[in-house]
């Protein structure tokens, strides 16, 4: 009891210091805020504006620049103060979660190291009252039990002994739990955290980081870090803490806009969006690979996304077309296909590129044959993108010549006669800017100027297209590729693709190869500002996609997170990007924390090598299989939803196999559940309550209770991992409904791992 009293006394003292610092910062923010307001109000009063002479213009520019810089500096100061206030508010609620007493070798006494989400100095700003969890010394808390320990600093290795390790649960400034432990993170603290209800947004896990997760978070030496983690192992959480650690460790050279997260869908982006801000860091850019594809190709094609591809595979009735599509997907996702495109590019060095006519007012002014002839007249040893640049420059010169000749054409005189008043006024002002105030008094000069203006406007779109390489017929070049691929099964696959492209449709499996070919011809669009990339659900990226991404970000470091057991897309069933392409430090996380022990014991029996998965020892009810007839199916579901709500479950997901099934279930439940929500691929965020969601959109998210709608729908072997993924979303309760005893994966599971009810 004395330990708790002493620790609570320290918490009270820390909160008093936080209050003092908060009051100090509030005073500063008011002062800086009023300065910002005053500068804005008096901005033009303090600026000297004089445009009479060149020297006066320079003086005016300098004056405006100085005022703008002063305003920017004050606003930046206010932003930093607001950030400090936000951090102090979080520390006041829960100042820290851990303590270690560390006796450094050669020192007379131990230091008490308290660890929280941010650092806090004493009133003299000399000593640490709380250490940031990312500080080098804090790694002792995550990596060692009491006894000999060491940690790395920028100045070398520090050795010593941990004489005490203590964990806290502090809420609203009060200690609710205190544990001395020999483990990294004691089961008591994990039980407390994991036993809580799920949230609509992921939370920080800094208080419960495990030793194996800490190794991932603090790895700064490897260019590629691969995390193969089972469902619920905390791989995504560890990755987000890793981003926060990197921003802290390299804070002088790395900023949030140098990091990007590729996530599986927009809903997941919303789910993880608060983690970095919760740790006091600005959020990194969050996107999906599909959003990148759309940004490049949506103006040309209607692009299929991976969810529509999945819908087709799960619902297609024409088995012959389905078989062709599956071959299409697997082949076009492979590195073998990328090699075929590279071979095709070798052919294009000397022949085969297709161009478009350049047309002006319905007349071809540079035909595609001339363009092709000029391109292939250039030295063949020059790479294709470099020759395209030279071709582009030649075309712009030719266009300028034709533009000049066009000014004398009769249509231009007609256009001058019918020139709009506003256009005429714009031309007059333009002449004035050129110091030709009297030019419009001379009819010939006026006519010449207006002719130039009219023709220039008409040619502007053509020049813009040339600058964007629109003179290349990329569609035809891509279609031509198929006649060069030496694959006996490819004829049917090529027909499918050609028909799509001719209708301006691009399948998901064609989008990346199309962009790759385009970039090899027009020039790569590498992004050198991104220093670190996180890819979640990396097993769902094809080898071709990942190789393409590596070319997009050639100087980036990578953190790839995935689970081979959740490879739900058809292109990832044979080999995973994680092991085929990515060469780097690989971490395996085999302990599952999300679900109760009973749920993990059931789900791990659904997949091969599931025996390697280690459940965390959090007790709960065994999963329940309810097999019932269709006439009582939804009433049974409604009864169980009501039971879960009464038990305190706040997020209840009814997971369906696909989107069309989700819509049907939503319509069935809606009359009795007025707050039920349907989640589809366009959903950007969700709130607590009852959700109906397709299986593939639930990836990466967790729920208090999961209801699997009609488990008998999952029959085929390639649906096994989809079924496993859906079941592993459950934290506390898993209920499987079925109209018949037809799920082969449940039949293979250990009968003792679940309960069964027949209605």
Q: What is the pLDDT of residue 631?
A: 82
Q: Is the dihedral of CA 81, 83, 84, 89 positive or negative?
A: positive
Rounded to the nearest 5°, which phi and psi values hold at 128? -80, 125
pLDDT at 540 exceeding the cut of 70: yes
- Considering the domain architecture, whether residues 158 and 50 belong to the same structural domain is answered as yes
Interatomic CA distance for residues 730 and 705, integer angstroms: 5
Residue 526, marked binder: no
- Considering the domain architecture, whether residues 239 and 195 belong to the same structural domain is answered as no
CB-based contacts of 167: which residues, under 8 Å, 6+ apart? 97, 98, 99, 177, 178, 179, 180, 181, 185, 186, 188, 189, 207
Q: Is 106 left (phi over 0), alpha (psi -120 to 50) or beta?
A: left
Q: Which domain holds residue 255?
A: 211-299+527-592
Tokens of 46: 């303090």
- Considering the domain architecture, whether residues 441 and 577 belong to the same structural domain is answered as no
Residue 229, marked binder: yes
- Considering the domain architecture, whether residues 59 and 139 belong to the same structural domain is answered as yes
The closest alpha carbon to 25, from 115, 117, 91, 97, belongs to: 91
The closest alpha carbon to 358, from 448, 224, 463, 239, belongs to: 463
Tokens of 212: 């194996």
Residue 236, marked binder: yes
- Number of residues that this document lists for the chain: 759
Interatomic CA distance for residues 377 and 391, integer angstroms: 10
The kind and range of the H/E element at 165 are strand 156-171
Confidence band for 180, pLDDT divided at 50, 70 and 90: confident
Residue 575 lies in a domain: yes
Scan for tokens 């007609």, then name that residue.
414
Q: Which of 35-44, 143-152, 162-171, 482-491 has the lowest mean pLDDT?
A: 35-44
Q: Which of 177, 200, 223 is the last residue of a domain?
A: 200
Q: What is the pLDDT of residue 155?
A: 84
DSSP for 525-579, please give it.
----S--EEEETTGGGS-HHHHHHHHHHSTT-EEEEEE-GGG--SGGGSSS-HHH
Residue 280 lies in a domain: yes
Confidence band for 575, pLDDT divided at 50, 70 and 90: very low
Residue 523, marked binder: no
Confidence band for 424, pLDDT divided at 50, 70 and 90: low
> Strand, helix or coil at 161?
strand
CATH number, position 271: 3.40.50.300
Scan for tokens 């006066």, then name that residue.
56
Q: Is 146 left (phi over 0), alpha (psi -120 to 50) or beta?
A: beta
Interatomic CA distance for residues 594 and 613, integer angstroms: 12
Tokens of 70: 């002063």
Q: Which of 592, 612, 640 is the last residue of a domain?
A: 592
Check residue 146 and report its DSSP letter. Answer: S
Residue 505 lies in a domain: no
Give pLDDT tens digits for 74-131: 667 676 778 888 889 889 999 998 999 999 998 989 999 999 989 999 988 889 999 9
- Compute the mean pLDDT over every residue in the chain, rounded to the nearest whole number: 86
- Considering the domain architecture, whether residues 267 and 394 belong to the same structural domain is answered as no
Interatomic CA distance for residues 198 and 173, integer angstroms: 23
Q: Which of 397-401, 408-412, 436-440 has the lowest mean pLDDT?
A: 436-440
Q: Do the beta carbons of residue 85 and residue 26 sit within 8 Å?
A: yes
- Considering the domain architecture, whether residues 190 and 222 belong to the same structural domain is answered as no
pLDDT at 51 exceeding the cut of 70: no
Interatomic CA distance for residues 230 and 562, integer angstroms: 8
Residue 515 lies in a domain: no
Q: What is the pLDDT of residue 573?
A: 43
Q: Which of 592, 612, 635 is the last residue of a domain?
A: 592
- Considering the domain architecture, whether residues 68 and 196 belong to the same structural domain is answered as yes
- Considering the domain architecture, whether residues 115 and 241 belong to the same structural domain is answered as no
Question: Per residue in 62-89, is it b (16+ CB within 10 Å) or e — as a string?
Answer: eebeebeeeeeebbebbeebeebeebbe
pLDDT at 626 exceeding the cut of 50: yes
Q: Which residues pair with 148 in a beta bridge?
A: 161
Distances (CA, A) of 309 to 174, 696, 701: 52, 11, 21
Interatomic CA distance for residues 166 and 110, integer angstroms: 15
Residue 49 lies in a domain: yes
Q: What is the pLDDT of residue 463?
A: 94
Residue 27, marked binder: no
Residue 280, marked binder: no
Residue 362, marked binder: no
For the chain, the domain total comes to: 4
> In the chain, how long is the greatest CA-to-CA distance?
101
Q: Is 125 left (phi over 0), alpha (psi -120 to 50) or beta?
A: left
- Considering the domain architecture, whether residues 718 and 641 belong to the same structural domain is answered as yes
- Considering the domain architecture, whether residues 617 and 716 belong to the same structural domain is answered as yes
Interatomic CA distance for residues 729 and 707, integer angstroms: 10
- Considering the domain architecture, whether residues 718 and 753 belong to the same structural domain is answered as yes
Residue 231, marked binder: yes
Interatomic CA distance for residues 29 and 25, integer angstroms: 6
């Amino acid at each position: 009891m004395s330990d708790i009293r002493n620790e609570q006394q320290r918490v009270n003292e820390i909160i008093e210091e936080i209050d003092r610092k908060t009051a100090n910062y509030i005073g500063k923010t008011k002062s800086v805020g009023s300065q910002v307001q005053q500068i804005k109000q008096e901005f033009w009063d303090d600026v000297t504006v004089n445009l009479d002479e060149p020297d006066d213009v320079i003086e005016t520019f300098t004056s405006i620049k100085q005022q703008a810089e002063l305003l920017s500096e004050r606003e930046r100061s206010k932003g930093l103060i607001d950030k400090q206030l936000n951090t102090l508010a979080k520390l006041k609620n829960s100042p820290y979660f851990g303590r270690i007493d560390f006796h450094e070798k050669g020192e007379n006494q131990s230091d008490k190291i308290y660890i929280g989400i941010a650092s806090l100095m004493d009133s003299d700003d000399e000593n640490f009252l709380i250490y940031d969890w990312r500080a080098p010394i804090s790694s002792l808390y995550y990596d060692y039990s009491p006894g000999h320990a060491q940690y790395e600093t920028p100045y070398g290795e520090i050795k010593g002994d941990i004489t005490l390790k203590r964990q806290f649960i502090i809420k609203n400034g009060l200690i609710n739990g205190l544990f001395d432990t020999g483990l990294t993170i004691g089961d008591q603290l994990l039980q407390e955290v994991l036993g809580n209800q799920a949230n609509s947004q992921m939370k920080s896990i800094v208080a419960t980081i495990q030793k194996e997760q800490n190794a991932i978070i603090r790895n700064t030496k490897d260019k590629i870090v691969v995390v193969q983690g089972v469902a619920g192992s905390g791989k995504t959480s560890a990755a987000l803490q890793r981003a926060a650690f990197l921003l802290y460790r390299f804070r002088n050279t790395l900023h949030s806009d140098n990091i990007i997260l590729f996530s599986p869908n927009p809903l997941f982006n919303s789910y993880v969006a608060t983690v970095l801000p919760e740790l006091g860091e600005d959020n990194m850019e969050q996107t999906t690979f599909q959003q990148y594809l759309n940004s490049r190709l949506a103006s040309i094609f209607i692009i299929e996304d991976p969810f529509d591809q999945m819908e087709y595979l799960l619902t297609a009735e024409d088995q012959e077309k389905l078989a062709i599509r599956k071959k299409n997907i697997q082949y076009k996702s492979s590195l073998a296909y990328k090699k075929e495109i590279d071979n095709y590019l070798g052919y294009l060095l000397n022949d085969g590129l297709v161009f478009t006519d350049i047309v002006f007012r319905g007349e071809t002014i540079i035909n595609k044959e001339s363009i092709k002839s000029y391109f292939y007249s250039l030295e063949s040893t020059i790479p294709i993108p470099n020759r395209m640049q030279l071709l582009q420059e030649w075309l712009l010169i030719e266009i300028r010549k034709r533009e000049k000749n066009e000014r004398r054409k009769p249509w231009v005189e007609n256009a001058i006669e019918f020139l709009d008043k506003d256009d005429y006024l714009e031309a007059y002002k333009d002449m004035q800017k050129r110091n030709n105030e009297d030019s419009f008094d001379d009819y010939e000069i006026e006519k010449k100027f207006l002719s130039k203006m009219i023709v220039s406007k008409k040619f502007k779109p053509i020049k813009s297209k040339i600058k964007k390489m629109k003179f290349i017929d990329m569609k035809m070049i891509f279609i031509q590729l198929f006649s060069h691929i030496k694959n006996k099964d490819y004829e049917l696959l090529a027909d499918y693709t050609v028909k799509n492209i001719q209708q301006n449709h691009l399948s998901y499996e064609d989008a990346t190869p199309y962009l790759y070919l385009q970039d090899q011809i027009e020039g790569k669009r590498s992004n050198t500002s991104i220093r670190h990339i996180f890819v979640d659900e990396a097993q769902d990226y094809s080898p071709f996609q990942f190789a393409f991404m590596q070319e997009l970000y050639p100087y980036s470091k990578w953190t790839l997170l995935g689970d081979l057991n959740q490879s739900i897309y058809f292109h990832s069933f044979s080999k995973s990007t994680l092991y085929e392409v990515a060469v780097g430090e690989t971490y395996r996380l085999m302990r599952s924390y999300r679900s109760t022990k009973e749920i993990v014991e059931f789900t791990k029996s659904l997949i091969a090598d599931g025996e390697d998965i280690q459940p965390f020892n959090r007790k709960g009810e065994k999963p329940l299989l309810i097999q019932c007839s269709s006439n009582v199916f939804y009433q049974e579901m409604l009864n169980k939803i009501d039971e879960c709500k009464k038990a305190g479950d706040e997020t209840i997901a009814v997971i369906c196999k696909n989107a069309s099934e989700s819509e049907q279930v939503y319509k069935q439940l809606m009359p009795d559940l007025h707050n039920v929500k349907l989640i589809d691929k366009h959903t950007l965020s969700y709130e607590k309550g009852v959700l109906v969601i397709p299986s593939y959109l639930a990836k990466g998210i967790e729920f208090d209770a999961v209801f699997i709608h009609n488990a008998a729908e999952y029959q085929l072997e390639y649906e096994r991992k989809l079924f496993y993924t859906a079941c592993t979303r459950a934290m506390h309760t898993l209920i499987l409904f079925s109209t018949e005893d037809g799920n082969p994966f449940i039949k293979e599971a250990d009968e003792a791992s679940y309960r069964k009810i027949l209605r």
